């Protein structure tokens, strides 16, 4: 199977590594920037093109779209037109997504949006602990995901990076990125109340903190904070159950649960090798690429769809509306 990686920035390079880790050596790349094509060629020994039409002449079977979010649907359309299976990174822009959903319904093409966090070993462990009823019925959770924006890509000026644009801003991107796994773990959301604002001196036209109260249909209450001002990269979770507590810390790579009878039981997790200048291990991303390949081959049911992704982005829209109008918003499922 031949793969075309579209966009050779940090995520595109990660996806090349992922595919090679899975044993897929027939990989080519595309980026409008010649310097990135040169880097990919030198670092990963792949052919890379600055013209998408030339890349498509190589007859790829699948595309991995790792461009900025506002270009995802543009290249998804290219993939569908050329009858090529495709994967997209985390989305934050709804434009043309409904069209992609319609076109995929009448096609044999696999179009898979990213749901990386579902494969993270901490999330897998959380789900296992809950399913085993170790802390009883979950009642509420507190979740914080934050990292100082200039530290996202220390090798480039954050002000020239898509995460500093209002439509594709860093917090706007991470809120749905987290909601994908939160809704998978805790269920459907019924109501949201959000507050978003800018509190820092970052030179970017974005809201740098989102504070969100989530009400789930099953009665669970969640408190979600996403920011790009934390000078230490936090991702921490507390789940309060009737009989105990779960605590997870992604930076420390630990997860544990507490009950009065047994005390704390803690486990260190391994999320795969960490590339230089990256914070998170490649493990969940490799698993995600594996699921993409298995979906194409028909070995597994597609784990996530663009319809699912569209519904997540509608929740983001409701969170932002809640902040703008100052009232709780009902989620229509």
Residue 325 lies in a domain: yes
Q: Quick one: pLDDT at residue 276?
A: 63
Residue ending a domain, among 50, 85, 109, is 109
| Neighbouring-strand partners of residue 245 | 240, 258
pLDDT average, residue stretch 195-213 = 97
Q: Quick one: pLDDT at residue 275?
A: 65
Residue 132 lies in a domain: yes
More confident residue, 274 or 308: 308
Asked if 126 and 103 sit in the same domain, the reply is: no
Q: Quick one: pLDDT at residue 143?
A: 99
- Domain with residue 28: its CATH number is 3.40.50.720
Q: Per-residue confidence at 210, pLDDT binned at 50, 70, 90? A: very high
Q: Quick one: pLDDT at residue 219?
A: 98
Burial 234-268 (b: 16+ CB within 10 A, else e): ebbbebbbeebebbbbbeebebbbbeeeeeeeeee
> Which 3 state secondary structure label does DSSP give 41?
helix
Q: Does the pLDDT at position 277 exceed 60?
A: no
329 vs 157, 174, 178, 213, 320, CA distance in Å? 36, 20, 19, 11, 10
Asked if 186 and 230 sit in the same domain, the reply is: yes
pLDDT digits over 8-66, tens only? 999 999 999 999 999 999 999 999 999 999 999 999 999 999 999 999 999 999 999 99
Burial 209-222 (b: 16+ CB within 10 A, else e): bbbbbbbbeeebeb
Q: Does the pLDDT at position 209 exceed 80?
A: yes
Residue ending a domain, among 109, 137, 162, is 109
| pTM score of the predicted model | 0.94
Asked if 130 and 57 sit in the same domain, the reply is: no
Residue 291 lies in a domain: no
Residue 198 lies in a domain: yes
Number of separate domains in the chain: 2
Asked if 75 and 167 sit in the same domain, the reply is: no
pLDDT average, residue stretch 107-135 = 97
Q: Per-residue confidence at 3, pLDDT binned at 50, 70, 90? A: very high
Residue 286 lies in a domain: no
DSSP state, residue 252: T
- Domain with residue 168: its CATH number is 3.30.360.10
Asked if 208 and 59 sit in the same domain, the reply is: no
Q: Quick one: pLDDT at residue 106?
A: 84
Asked if 35 and 79 sit in the same domain, the reply is: yes
Asked if 92 and 150 sit in the same domain, the reply is: no
pLDDT digits over 214-273, tens only? 999 999 999 999 999 999 999 999 999 999 999 999 999 999 999 999 999 999 998 876
Asked if 8 and 137 sit in the same domain, the reply is: no
Residue ending a domain, among 56, 76, 109, is 109
- Cβ neighbors of 231 (< 8 A, separation 6 or more) are 148, 151
pLDDT average, residue stretch 143-154 = 95
Asked if 143 and 272 sit in the same domain, the reply is: yes
Q: Give the C-alpha separation, 280 to 273, whole Å.
A: 8
Domain of 232? 118-277+306-330
Asked if 166 and 93 sit in the same domain, the reply is: no
Residue 16 lies in a domain: yes
Q: Give the C-alpha separation, 127 to 121, whole Å.
A: 10
Q: Does the pLDDT at position 279 exceed 80?
A: no
Residue 297 lies in a domain: no
Structural contact between residues 202 and 149, judged by C-beta atoms closer than 8 angstroms: yes
Structural contact between residues 27 and 47, judged by C-beta atoms closer than 8 angstroms: no
Asked if 78 and 130 sit in the same domain, the reply is: no
Residue 134 lies in a domain: yes
Q: Quick one: pLDDT at residue 266?
A: 96
Asked if 137 and 234 sit in the same domain, the reply is: yes
Supply the mean pLDDT for the chain: 96
Per 3-state DSSP, what percentage of the chain is helix, strand, and coil (rounded to 5)? 40, 25, 35
* Cα end-to-end distance, the chain, whole Å: 37
Q: Quick one: pLDDT at residue 278?
A: 62
pLDDT average, residue stretch 156-178 = 93
Q: Does the pLDDT at position 280 exceed 90?
A: no
């Amino acid at each position: 199977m031949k793969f075309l990686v579209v966009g050779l920035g940090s995520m595109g390079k990660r996806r090349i590594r992922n595919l090679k880790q899975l044993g897929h050596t027939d990989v080519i790349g595309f980026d409008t920037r010649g310097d990135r094509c040169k880097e990919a060629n030198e670092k990963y020994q792949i052919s890379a093109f600055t013209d998408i039409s030339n890349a498509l002449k190589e007859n790829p079977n699948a595309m991995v779209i790792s461009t900025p979010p506002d270009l995802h649907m543009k290249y998804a359309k290219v993939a569908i037109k050329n009858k090529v299976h495709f994967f997209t990174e985390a989305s934050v822009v709804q434009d043309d997504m409904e069209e992609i959903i319609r076109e995929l319904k009448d096609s044999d093409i696999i179009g898979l949006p990213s749901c990386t966090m579902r494969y993270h070993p901490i999330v897998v462990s959380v789900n296992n602990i809950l399913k085993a009823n170790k802390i009883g019925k979950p009642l509420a959770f507190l979740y914080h995901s934050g990292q100082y924006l200039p530290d996202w890509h220390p090798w480039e000026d954050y002000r020239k990076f898509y995460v500093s644009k209002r439509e594709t801003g860093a917090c706007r991107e991470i809120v749905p990125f987290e909601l994908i796994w939160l809704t998978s773990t805790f269920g459907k959301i019924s109501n949201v109340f959000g507050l978003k604002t800018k509190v820092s001196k970052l030179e970017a036209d974005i809201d740098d903190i989102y504070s969100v109260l989530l009400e789930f249909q099953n009665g669970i209450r969640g408190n979600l904070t996403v920011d790009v001002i934390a000078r230490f990269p936090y991702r921490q979770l507390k789940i309060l159950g009737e009989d105990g507590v779960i605590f997870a810390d992604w930076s420390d790579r630990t997860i544990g649960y507490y009950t009065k009878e047994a005390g704390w039981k803690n486990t260190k997790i391994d999320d795969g090798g960490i590339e230089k200048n990256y914070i998170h291990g490649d493990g969940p991303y490799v698993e995600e690429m594996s699921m993409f390949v298995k979906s194409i081959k028909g070995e597994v049911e597609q784990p996530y769809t663009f319809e699912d992704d569209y519904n997540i982005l509608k929740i983001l829209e409701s969170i932002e509306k809640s902040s703008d109008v100052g009232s709780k918003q009902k989620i229509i499922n």
